[in-house]
Amino acid sequence: MLFITQQSDRLQARYRQLDLRGKITVQLVSVSMIIGLLIMVAAYYAAKYQITTQTESILQGRAAIEKREIELRLGGLLAVAQSISNNPVTANALADSGGREIYLTPLLKSQKLEVTGASMTVLDYRGRTVVSSAPLSPVFDTAQMYERFMATGLMHATILHPSDSNSELDILFPIRYRLTNSVEGAVLLRIPLNSLLAPSSELERSWIKDKEGRTVAGQAPMDRIFEIDTSLALSDPLDSLQLKLAVSRDQQYLVDNLRLLMIGFLFLGVLVVLGLSIFARAMARMITRPIGEIATAAEEIAATGRPEVRLSHYTDDEFGRMAAAFNTMIDRLAMSYAELEQRVAARTHDLAKSHHEVQFTNERLRQRELYLRATIDNLPFFFWLKDSECRFLAVNKLFAEACGRSNPDEVVGMTDFDVWPTELAQRYRAEDLKVIETRRERSLEEHVVGDTEQGWIETFKKPVICSDGSLLGTVGFARDISERRIAEAHIREHVEQLNTVFALSPDGFVSFDQQRCVKYVSAAFSQMTGLSGNEVIGLNELHLSQRISELCIPQTRFIGISALRDRQKSGEGAIREGKQKIEISSGKRVLEVGLRETSVESVSQILYLRDITHETEIDRMKSEFLSTAAHELRTPMASIYGFSELLLAQPFNEQERHELLATIFKQSELMVSIINELLDLARIESRRGKDFTITTVDVVQILEEVIARYKTPEGRSKPVFEVLAIPLLVRVDRNKITQVLSNVISNAYKYSPNGGDVRISLKMSELVDPDDISQVGISIIDHGIGMTIEQCARVFERFYRADTSGNIPGTGLGMSIVQEIVELHGGHVLVDSALGRGTQVTIWLPIADQTINEVPHYDGEIPYLGGHI
């Protein structure tokens, strides 16, 4: 390898030393040699390819023909042998004795076997020859194989001496003896495989290979240039042998011819290369001689520096033209030389003249700088100009003073770090860099803390960009904005306060801007209407009116904001105030909507909403109560009126008059009790317990008194009172509670007309809720007509009667009074009832603190003392 590299280097060095003529010659000769070689190689392979394909197609044809021939011949032989094995005569012969040759031998010999040397032999059950068509009976020595064949009874094929090219093919066909239904012998078909092949020539050969690739027939040539294998398609049992037919063709003579042709080519090639090299040398000489002369002339001019040499041109070809051009070039060169010297003299004169003009310009520049300085020094804010490296180029006086310098020029060339404390300088530098980086102006307000005072500075920075887009630096302004900041803070505080007021106000507000679009919505408004701020802010008054109108029930549709405004100008009274009552369908709120126009610049008008649901409800209840009460009073009044009119109009006997008067008296009594109870109720409601005389009393004691005083209806037993053996003190108005208990007990008897015990029991709230010992419950239980759940729910309504038959007397106000009184005592009433089963009314009253303290300590349970009192 090293040697080759050395040689190659040497050749390259020698090539470089060659003159132009030598190089041209070498290159021409090498190129022609390479092309010649390539053509030769291509021609060789093309010829070889042609030979190969042609031979292969010949061989394929030959192989196909011979394969078909062999398959047909073998197939024919197999058919013959099989017919012999199936012939009953053959089986019969196996059962026959000597003498069978008479008919068996002619049978075998009469069969036409298409292959020379093929024979058929009938074998007995052990493979011994019975009769054979061959002159010499075949020897059959593979006893074991034969036993297997007899056992399976299937056709069997095998090749004898497979490694020998004279091998024979043995095929056994079973002979089945019908009388025993067993295989009792075989027909052996023996075929010399060589006979199957077509005669071979020196040029072409064919042979047969078995599945191991051994040649079993014919002879494979030693030198197989072209060979083709085809599998023989044979029927059972030969298919198991997987025989292949191989065909070859010897093409050596063609290859020899090809080689001869190549040697001829090579000789011719050498001759051509020799001729070419001579021709190349001559051509090269012709080209290089004129170039050599030009080179000599050029060398001479280079040495003298004077373009004075000339070339003689004696031909009209390219070299002649080149010599002429060379001469012209030298002439031109001489002319330019003279011109150059003249121009140098003129330039020297001009230079002296321009010096005065420069001095004048400088003066004007200095004046302009003074103006500029005066301008920036008089600016009322800090000003500075920095280059792209953040060095000050110019500052104004104010800025210089802020840095503690008297002369602005002192600051020029410095950086922020030279004039400000490090921390501040770092911040400024960072800002500058941002401006430079983004090429965008920045402004910021910052809180500055100095040694003695502090305040707010507003700074504005801007990049200075040249017309060509390059960044020159930054320019900055700064001013003190402390006063402005203080004023802004005041305003903000004021707004906060106002917002808080609006947010806390139970009334809702909507403010509108000058365009009458919604600007602000208070929290109360959203709560009342369910319209959030996001939904309505930005809407004009028409759209808002529509939204509010959609929320209302149809009877009280919102008339709209503009209508409200019109009313204000034209209407009177409540209408004059520009108010409307609407009812929101969800939640049944009743709202009062009003509008107020303002004179404030930013707010054109304010819509305000007030929740008057409660007031409206109370109004409704009042009128409802009045009409009910009037109705209830009118019923007995009608009776009184009617009967008294009757008495006045006509005479009645004593008996009749007494009856009429009794009726009038009874109705009057009912009327009085209604009026009493109504007055009672009215007093209780208006005084709200202020007239109660609260004392601490024992519930048990009160109950005992009530029971003792109660006049039990005729035929009914006293209430059963389950007594607790402890005093249960409550702080109540004794009379009111007595009234409550009497009322409930009276109801219990009234609503159990079919009898049954009325039971009274006491319970502590801790029995219901162990943590709550604050209440005592008084249950009055009857087993009367009871109530449905719906009736139960209405039991505290005024004038409501569970009994609609009129058999049970009552005003329908008793339970309302009970509830009012108990609730004013801080307690509550529970009614539990089932239709036809009875009712339990429990009055829960708060226990007085004293009781809790006085409760004797029992372990776990309160002793129960049942019994009648």
Partner 1 sequence: MMNNPWCLKSSLHKAIILFASFWMVGANAQSDAPILIGITAEFGMQNSQAAQSVEKGILLAIDEVNQAGGLLGRKLALEKRDDRGLPARAVDNMNELSANKDVVAMFCGRFSPVALELAPVANRIGLPLLDPWAAADSITAFASPSFVFRLSLTDSWAIAALLAHAQSRGMSRLALVLPNTAWGRSSDLAVRGQQHAGVEITRHWYNWGDTEFQPMLAKARMEGAQAIILVANETEGSLFVKQMAALPDKQRIPIISHWGIVGGDFSAMVGESLDSVDLVVVQTFGFNGARAQKEKQVATKLYERFGIDASMLQGQVGFAHAYDLTHLLALAIKKANSIDRAEIRKSLEQIKSYNGLVRHYTQPFSPTDHEALDRSQLYLARFGVNRNLLPIKAK
Give the tokens for residue 241: 């042998």
Q: How near is the Cβ of 172 to partner 1 at its closest, in Å?
A: 16
Q: What are the strands, taking DSSP E only, across 349-435? A: 382-387, 392-395
Smallest distance from partner 1 to CB 232, Å: 35
Q: CB 243 → partner 1: shortest distance, Å?
A: 33
What span, in angstroms and rounded, lies between the C-alpha atoms of 139 and 127? 9
> From the CB of 220, what's the least distance to partner 1, in Å?
43
Smallest gap from Cβ 168 to partner 1, in A, equals 25
Q: By C-beta, is 91 or 189 nearer to partner 1?
A: 91
Shortest distance (Å) from residue 157 CB to partner 1: 24
Encode burial over 765-786: b for 16+ CB neighbours within 10 A, e otherwise: beeeeeeeebbbbbbbbbbbbb
**Amino acid code (one letter) for 269:** G
C-beta of 175 vs 831, nearer to partner 1? 175
Closest CB 185 distance from partner 1, rounded Å: 8
Residue 232 has a CB neighbour count (10 Å cut-off) of: 20
Largest separation between any pair of C-alpha atoms in the chain: 186
User: Which residues make Cβ contacts (< 8 Å) with residue 100, sequence separation at least 6?
Assistant: 92, 93, 130, 131
Q: Which is nearer to partner 1, 91 or 607 (CB)?
A: 91
106 vs 530, which CB is nearer to partner 1? Answer: 106
Q: Which is nearer to partner 1, 102 or 618 (CB)?
A: 102
Q: What are the beta bridge partners of residue 169? A: 159, 191
H or E element, residue 437: helix 422-438
Name the token pair of 621. 């209840």
For tokens 């919604």, the residue is: 518
* Residue 155: CB minimum distance to partner 1, A: 20
Q: How far apart are the first and last CA of the chain?
A: 139
Query: Minimum CB separation from partner 1 for residue 231, in Å?
Result: 39
User: Residue 777: in which H helix or E strand, if any?
Assistant: strand 775-782
We find the least distance from the C-beta atom of residue 139 to partner 1, in angstroms, to be: 18
Q: How far apart are CA 428 and CA 384, in angstroms?
A: 12
**Which of 31/89 has CB closer to partner 1?**
89
Spatial distance between the Cα atoms of 413 and 425, rounded to a whole number of angstroms = 15
Q: Whose Cβ is closer to partner 1: residue 177's or residue 381's?
A: 177
Question: What type of residue is 37?
Answer: L
Return contacts of 545-553, CB within 8 angstroms, 24+ apart. 548/582, 548/593, 551/584, 551/585, 551/586, 552/582, 552/583, 552/584, 552/585, 553/583, 553/584, 553/585
Report whether 531 contacts 523 (CB < 8 A).
no
What number of other Cβ atoms are within 10 A of residue 542's Cβ? 12
CA pair distance 817, 5, nearest whole angstrom = 131
Number of Cβ within a 10 Å radius of residue 227: 16
What residue spans of 587-653 are helical by DSSP H? 613-649
- Distance of alpha carbon 170 from alpha carbon 158, whole angstroms: 5
The answer to whether the peptide bond before residue 713 is cis (omega within 30 degrees of 0) is no
Q: How far is the CB of 184 from partner 1 (least distance, A)?
A: 6
- How far, in Å, CA of 676 to CA of 684, rounded? 12
| Residue 571 CB neighbour total at 10 angstroms | 14
Q: Residue 218: name the closest of 232, 231, 204, 230 by CA.
A: 204
720-724 vs 759-764, strand pairing mode: parallel
Measured from the CB atom, is 99 or 199 closer to partner 1?
99
**Nearer to partner 1 (CB atom), residue 107 or residue 472:** 107
For partner 1, which is the closer residue by CB, 182 or 235? 182
- Token digits for 794? 């209405």
Nearer to partner 1, 125 or 799 (CB): 125
Minimum distance from residue 178 beta carbon to partner 1 (Å):
3
What are the C-alpha distances in Å from 645 to residues 27, 197, 508, 651?
Answer: 160, 157, 60, 11
Residue 150 or 831 with smaller CB distance to partner 1 = 150
Interacting residues toward partner 1 by CB under 8 A: 88-89, 91-92, 94-100, 103, 124-126, 128, 130, 177-182, 184-185
The number of residues making up the chain comes to: 869
CB of 128 to partner 1, least distance (A): 7
- Minimum CB separation of residue 180 from partner 1 in Å reads 4
Are the beta carbons of 237 and 85 closer than 8 angstroms? no
Comparison of 125 and 796: residue with beta carbon closer to partner 1? 125
Closer residue to partner 1, CB minimum distance, 86 or 195: 86
What single-letter DSSP state applies at residue 439? T
> Nearest approach, Cβ of 195 to partner 1 (angstroms)?
31
Least Cβ distance, residue 194 to partner 1 (angstroms): 33
- Token code pair at residue 557: 């549709």
Closer residue to partner 1, CB minimum distance, 70 or 123: 123
Question: In terms of CB distance, is 103 or 665 closer to partner 1?
Answer: 103
Spatial CA neighbour of 156 closest among 89, 215, 250, 236? 236
Distance from C-alpha of 624 to C-alpha of 637, rounded to nearest angstrom: 20
Whichever of 98 and 573 has its CB closer to partner 1, that residue is 98
Q: How far is the CB of 87 from partner 1 (least distance, A)?
A: 9
Q: What are phi and psi of 324, to 5 degrees?
A: -65, -45
Nearer to partner 1, 98 or 860 (CB): 98
Identity of the residue numbered 69: E
Task: Give which of 726, 686, 719, 682 is closest to 704, Cα–Cα.
Answer: 719
Q: How far apart are CA 246 and CA 208, in angstroms?
A: 6
CB of 176 to partner 1, least distance (A): 9
